[in-house]
Structure 1
């Protein structure tokens, strides 16, 4: 199991603390030649937070997350279900940003002063909850802590450690989500924050010999391991999904491909899988 969330209870069962290790999954999701360091960090943070949240979903519940930057159509998406199927991607407008320009920006500059979070939870039984909050921090991580406090009234703390090498390749991704349970003192969150800050080397060192599954007990004295939640990248795309995109092409283009026996190829912008439509398939659309 290379990607997973460890579910724990701590502080005399007053706090739910989740630990995620998803390095291999982020490598796959961020494997795009048009994605520089900044976009990998932005997408990686969004996907890691979604991965942590997936571990508290139940039954057939789903969550969809959208990070909206101040620039129109420049967005970051991620969604997950209770089975730990995760996917994430960024809009074409962000992918079109020149690498030199993107790499000279900070994450706060990318988000801008009008960025906002949009979270939709499908709770099943036709029950959908949508929450929207501003992004006062502009770094995604603290903005999601702010979201849970404002929108769901759950004091929460996110902490992520995504490490890239000199070639801008992801070599380590670990994260923590702490949420107070009803009746817990708000002071506990500050205590957890201090513990995380004092142990950054343990959380961020990709060369550590310490197994990640040992980390909860190394950080917290009073912790009960409640289980391990496997997570995996799963796009869910299929050829049928992309048929409507062919209908958006003009008829002359379709006829040209048909008469010249040229297949039309469509690439999924989430997983990169290619779907080819041959002459006979194009003819049916015409």
Structure 2
């Protein structure tokens, strides 16, 4: 799923890391959702126009994208940057949870680490008073394409000893090679038992990239064009094409589609 979201975009490794980490974290959080609940994440760099977004629901439908302002930054300006340099010293995280029944929870924190992954551990501690730990492992091939992504989210239940998080961190760091191993699908099921002696899998469910865009959803964008542009397209039988910046799907509007706006 992370490969599908990140590899189709013409972006460098730093942006892939940032987008992959954000989407992976949203995916892990989706495992805590119930019913029709949703979570939306916005990571803002010090330059507030540079943003990374991710959305997830309780059914495992995931999407993520980068703001146009960040996507269109010159490659030369970001090619050699680390995630920390990309985020800067005044980045922030905003998490919006739609809990259903017209109940929405919004949390905002700064990003003291600037690497996204550790900043979400900080977010849960500060905003939701929950001790948490995230680990994201992405593996690239020689063509700078993501070939593997595995993530772990750990949270303490009420009454659990606080040093348990430290023990989990130590286990993950000591077994980093297991999480980065390019094994088959069966190995994924075995990983929890390789990492921890006392563990029980209580639920499994698939996650998938789902954009949800449609041609109808892009009609309002035609209103942003001048009447002269629309008339010219109609009279010369030109079609217009709008590309979704989330999934890359192209939506074409014929001259007859455009005629409706002129009228």
What TM-score, normalized to structure 2? 0.97
Residue 3 of structure 2 contacts residue 148 of structure 2 at CA under 8 Å; is this kept in 1?
Answer: no
Mapped to 2, the partners of 1:186 and 1:63 lie a distance apart of: 26
**How big is each residue's C-alpha offset from its partner over 1:171-230, in whole Å with a ceiling of 9 and x where there is no partner?**
110010000000000000000000001001111122579711101111111111101121
1:157 aligns with 2:137: no
Cα deviation for residue 263 of structure 1 reads 0.4
Cα gap change, 1:240 to 1:44, in 2 (>3 Å): same
Residue 45 of structure 2 contacts residue 88 of structure 2 at CA under 8 Å; is this kept in 1?
Answer: yes
- SS of 2:194's equivalent in the other structure is helix
Task: Structure 2 unaligned segments of length 5 or more: list them.
Answer: none
1:206 aligns with 2:182: yes
1:261 aligns with 2:234: no
Pairing of 1:4-23 with structure 2 (within 5 A): none
**How big is each residue's C-alpha offset from its partner over 1:20-55, in whole Å with a ceiling of 9 and x where there is no partner?**
xxxxx1111113453111111100000000110001
Residue 34 of structure 1 contacts residue 96 of structure 1 at CA under 8 Å; is this kept in 2?
Answer: no
1:274 aligns with 2:246: no
Mapped to 1, the partners of 2:206 and 2:66 lie a distance apart of: 24
Match of 1:109 in 2: 85
1:284 aligns with 2:260: yes
What TM-score, normalized to structure 1? 0.89
Which of 233, 240, 260 matches 2:209?
233
Cα gap change, 1:283 to 1:208, in 2 (>3 Å): closer
Aligned residues: 262
1:135 aligns with 2:135: no
Residue 137 of structure 2 contacts residue 150 of structure 2 at CA under 8 Å; is this kept in 1?
Answer: yes
- The structure, 1 or 2, with the larger RCO (C-alpha pairs under 8 Å, 6+ apart) is 1
Match of 2:62 in 1: 86
RMSD between aligned alpha carbons? Answer: 1.2
Which of 180, 185, 195 matches 2:156?
180
Mapped to 1, the partners of 2:253 and 2:238 lie a distance apart of: 9
Task: Structure 1 unaligned segments of length 5 or more: list them.
Answer: 1-24
The answer to which structure has the higher strand fraction is: 1
Mapped to 2, the partners of 1:219 and 1:238 lie a distance apart of: 42
